[in-house]
Chains A and B, each alone.
Chain A
Amino acid sequence: MSTLDSVRRAQETPDERQPYAELGMKDDEYQRVREILGRRPTSSELAIYSVMWSEHCSYKSSKVHLRQFGTKAPKSEALLVGMGENAGVVDIGDGWAATFKIESHNHPSYVEPHQGAATGVGGIVRDIMSMGARPVAVMDALRFGGADQPDTRRVLPGVVEGISHYGNCLGLPNIGGEVAFDPCYIGNPLVNALCVGLLRKDQIKLATAPGPGNKVVLFGARTGADGIGGASVLASATFEDESQAKRPAVQVGDPFMEKLLIECCLELYQADVVVGIQDLGAAGVSCATTELAAKGTGGMEVDLNLVPLRDPTLRPEEILMSESQERMMAVVTPDDIPAFMAICDKWDVPATVIGEVTDTGRLVMTWDGEVIVDIPPGTAADEGPVYERPFHEPAGQAALNADGPERLPRPEDLRETLLTLLGSPNLGSKEWVTSQYDRYVRGNTVLAQPADAGMLRISEVMPGAQETTRGIALATDGNGRYAKLDPYTGAQLALAEAYRNVAVTGAKPLAVTNCLNFGSPEDPEVMWQFSEAVRGLADACRTLGVPVTGGNVSFYNQTGSTAINPTPVVGVLGVIDDVAQRVRSGFTAAGLRVLLLGETREEFGGSEWAHVVHGHLGGLPPQADLEAERGLAAVLTEAAARGLLEGSHDLSDGGLAVALAEACLAQGVGCTVTLPGEDAFVELFSESAARALVCVRPEAFEALADLCARHEVPCSGLGLTGGSALTVEGVLDVPVEELREVHSSALPRVFG
């Protein structure tokens, strides 16, 4: 048994060697801790600083860039809570607010796909709960290695099963997201989980511990040995070959406890017995206590012996670092403690007072009566190291951009090209994945995958809340190939696509969350990709008038010196005034006029065609014409509100050809169209952004054309819906059943 390393002992043994390097701390970081404390830290203090100053918790490499999301933020009256809280909150009207955030759980999902992905869902859901909201839906943006690579067959089924098990058992509908494949993700799959919650505007909760004498309550699951060191060891170090040895560092989730926690928290909020609240995620008790104390009156006393344990042999350092799931920490007035405890008891949620708020400016923790932590909490929570990492354009970037798709041979048989793309893993049906998720639970799902965006009715979320006809829409998008070719434009295109996907449902895009997945920040070339992507995204948010409300950075997605394609994943939240006016996906009936909105240019850099047919990545991505995106979104939302649209679909990967095929597949309604331009290949497969497909009743055509003219959005009549085939006059003709066979067999062919 090790000796208890108390503050007194630390003062008596100033020269004792400490394993800060093993905990991921640099020499100068350790020295700074010594300066802050005026002595060496105790082992418990070292545990706190090492996790709080890890890349994962402190954003030390990304902070200087992320500031642009604030400094360049567009003026938005909708923003109620911005970056820096557990999740951003936006005003969606009629007294309602929405809170949403996307977060990565990449590294754990590679080590242990099922639990890694499951606890990724659990973590983001608790972030949303801690804002005072009822979580109402989840989405997942997933990226895996090549579909035919053996390890993908280990990782993908495990990830999907983990999300399915945890999310379904939790009772949150899974309404969308993405699944993409590229060999660059083989050792570094991306598991980005998004959650959205709803709350009354006047009921926002914050992570703060004000009021000396108020009690600190730890509630939810008991603390065990899972995930110890996860934050610093797992999320901030590059994998080599010892990942098997890290298995115990992945947390294990209990969705049943999380479901109880949700209902319990909502009842606590309803009873108004919570002063401040914080979920326990990365860095567990360390993070919750330091952040709550730093944002409150400034001090807190905690008796660590009172933390309920699943494993009674845990040492205080381990308790501080444990990432056991399904735990929350609340600040409660002494008078409200009985009511608080009664509600926890009703839901069978263990709750324990472990300390109280003070005005000393110190976070003090004891173990067996001895002081083992005595620090100014802000130094751990907010004043971590900040790095201005060097960056420069990658050595091969110019050559990559020079190697454009112009040299690639164009296909003769466009029918075959369409079927090849439609049956490829990236464009094939994702039903193998999404059929494992409950999309209906809670009964408010208006749109779910494969629709362009998920949409929810706002109803029966909180007792006594105002009735509203409004709905919210959400989409996530990202394209690592585009970002590899040009991270500035790639990030803008990710935003543009998510923004467009929200608009095609009829909702008005309102706010942004992002998950920035990159390689090692210590590599100047990766850091260049990161800085360019952030700059691009911040600029685009300003142009489109949608502020970033929060998000997450995931670095070190690389194996050896090979990083993933830079992959900014962007989530956009939108609002529709009358959810009954939502526009369904694709061709919804026969006899409708089919229109293409937007301009088609010859743009094949980073395209699915170049990727699937030629295995080529080079040149430049499509232009990100943000003014055009704005105009298109304005047309779509206004047309939806006026009831002009019978169906819609965004154009993206695979261009018009794939969009037409998907529109036919949505309801099994075919179409006959004529291409407006000369070059059928370019018309069908170019991936120009700012385009959408819509179908309208013939009598609505003029009104839509006028609307397009007013917003300067090009509008071409392509033809009519109907029949049982996708017919492009003079080019190709494919029965819808054949499209379906090819589309639906893409993933089952690989995953069974």
Chain B
Amino acid sequence: MSAARVGVVTFPGTLDDQDAARAVRLAGAEAVPLWHADHDLKGVDAVFLPGGFSYGDYLRCGAISRFSPLMTELIPAAQAGLPVLGTCNGFQILCEAHLLPGALTRNEGLHYICRDQRIRVESTRTAWTTDFTDGQEIVLPIKHGEGRYVADADTLAALESEGRVVFRYAGGNPNGSLNDIAGITNEAGNIVGLMPHPEHAVEDLTGAPSVDGRHFFTSILKRLVNA
């Protein structure tokens, strides 16, 4: 059986693509580089949109990437059920692309924040979180200046009632996100976006003092292998 293939997208200004690919490989999957300018998903089984400052993010974060050739392929594929994980800038892009509702705005404190953050897992029913347990507290790094999740009241109510809030900040809300939201999913549960960085929490030697990020990749791998 050939390994599951997870695409890792690089836009100009993407920064965490090397980390994303490493995390995918450590879980036992093949990391397939996807280039923003190609209309080609290379037949991957899932896609990881890593963090960074795509196109410099001088407009709104993710606002330009959303129109890239690769995204014009990814959007319909994701709507058709392809598993997609977006972290940080990837989450922002997913919101700009309307694959996920709401938006990410400037942190409440107006500063960029890099720290190891406690996170509570609120849903294990998505493609990327089955290896967690409901209510589990994990530690993942956050590093962003625009991570304050906002949405209108109806959207928030829907997210909450449908169990689509996947992660919540614990032990203090770092950026002023509504309802302490750190990550959400779509109705089908195949698309997950979050501000924290699982790819920086997969090794003992490097990154955050935690390896909790591994479960994202073991979750998706199990799903792909069992599919």
Contacts and interface: CB of A to CB of B under 8 A. Distances in A.
Contacts of B113: 435-436
B13 A444 contact: no
B207 A443 contact: yes
A442 B143 CA distance: 13
A649 B83 CA distance: 46
A260 interface: yes
A171 interface: yes
Interface in A161-203: 161, 164-165, 168-169, 171
B52 A171 contact: yes
A169 B56 contact: yes
Given A256-B55, A259-B13, A446-B205, A440 B18 contact: no
A328 to B, nearest CB: 17
Interface string B185-223: 000000000000101100101111000000000000000
Contacts of B207: 440, 443, 445
Contacts of A443: 16, 18-19, 22, 199-200, 203, 206-207
A440 B141 contact: yes
Contact of A445 (B18, B112, B206): B206
Contacts of B112: 164-165, 168, 436-438
A440 B208 contact: yes
B224 interface: no
B206 A441 contact: no
Contact of B22 (A168, A460, A580): A460
A135 to B, nearest CB: 13
Given A256-B53, A435-B114, A580-B205, A440 B197 contact: yes
A254 interface: yes
Contacts of A440: 19, 114, 141, 143, 197, 200, 207-208
A436 B144 CA distance: 9
Given A443-B200, A457-B206, A579-B205, A436 B12 contact: no
B51 to A, nearest CB: 8
Given A256-B58, A443-B206, A460-B18, A438 B143 contact: yes
A370 interface: no
A3 B41 CA distance: 58
A169 B18 contact: no
B15 A441 contact: yes
Interface in B1-58: 12-13, 15-16, 18-19, 22, 52-53, 55-58
Given A435-B114, A435-B115, A437-B114, A256 B206 contact: no
Nearest to A442: B18
B114 A436 contact: yes
Interface string A259-295: 1100000000000000000000000000000000000
Interface in A408-432: none
Contacts of B115: 435
B5 to A, nearest CB: 19
Interface residues of B, number: 29
A256 B15 contact: no
Interface in A320-359: 347-348
Contacts of A582: 205
A506 to B, nearest CB: 13
Contact of A169 (B13, B111, B200, B203): B13
A584 to B, nearest CB: 10
Interface string B140-168: 01010100000000000000000000000
A752 B16 CA distance: 30
A578 to B, nearest CB: 11
A439 interface: yes
A748 to B, nearest CB: 11
Interface string A153-164: 000000001001
Interface of A: 161, 164-165, 168-169, 171, 254-257, 259-260, 347-348, 434-446, 457, 460, 579-580, 582
Given A259-B53, A260-B12, A441-B16, 18 more contacts: A168-B112, A169-B53, A171-B15, A171-B52, A256-B55, A256-B58, A259-B13, A435-B111, A440-B141, A440-B143, A440-B200, A440-B208, A442-B15, A443-B22, A444-B206, A445-B207, A446-B206, A460-B22
25 contacts: A161-B111, A164-B112, A168-B145, A169-B57, A171-B15, A171-B16, A255-B56, A260-B13, A434-B114, A436-B111, A436-B112, A436-B113, A438-B112, A438-B114, A441-B15, A441-B16, A442-B16, A442-B18, A443-B199, A443-B206, A445-B206, A445-B207, A457-B205, A457-B206, A580-B205
Interface of B: 12-13, 15-16, 18-19, 22, 52-53, 55-58, 111-115, 141, 143, 145, 197, 199-200, 203, 205-208
* A-B pairs, 4 with minimum CB distance: A256-B56, A171-B15, A443-B19, A440-B200
